[in-house]
Amino acid sequence: MLSRLEPYAYALFRIVTGLLFIFHGLQKFGIYGGQSVNLATRLGVAALIEAVGGGLVMIGLFTGPVAFICSGEMAAAYFLSHAPQAFWPIQNRGELAVLYCFAFLYMATRGSGIWSIDWLRGRRGRR
């Protein structure tokens, strides 16, 4: 019964995930309660990927490749920052990195979908 709403649910999933990822990156610029990082560092590159990548995913522009990059960034964040602290994500506070990693991996395989710039441009993404 709800399957007919799937394209709209996916669009909302993409938009909200992208928006939240923007905020994740903006915190590294000292906005929204974060501390500013040097852009010439690993965290600086992460901030750019999160802010710009989140924005592109949110508006649905080049969602596949951008989401793949965001997924990889979150995998790297998990293994470089969280995994050395403990084995399980619940123990090392890496749940958010894992969740973002797999959400973006799904988007990389799924494409932009409806309500996206790619869709408006006729590249419609995959259904």
Q: Above 70 in pLDDT, residue 125? A: no
Query: pLDDT tier at 126 (50, 70, 90 boundaries)?
Result: low
Angle at 77 between CA 11 and CA 64, to 5 degrees: 30
pTM exceeds 0.95, yes or no: no
Distance CA 11, CA 99 (A): 18
> Which residues have CB under 8 Å from 92's CB, separation 6+?
82, 83, 84, 85, 86
- Our measurement of the distance from residue 38's CA atom to the centroid of its chain's CA atoms, rounded to an integer in Å, reads 21
Query: pLDDT tier at 34 (50, 70, 90 boundaries)?
Result: confident
From residue 60, alpha-carbon distances to 5, 18, 20, 44, 88 in Å are: 18, 9, 14, 24, 32
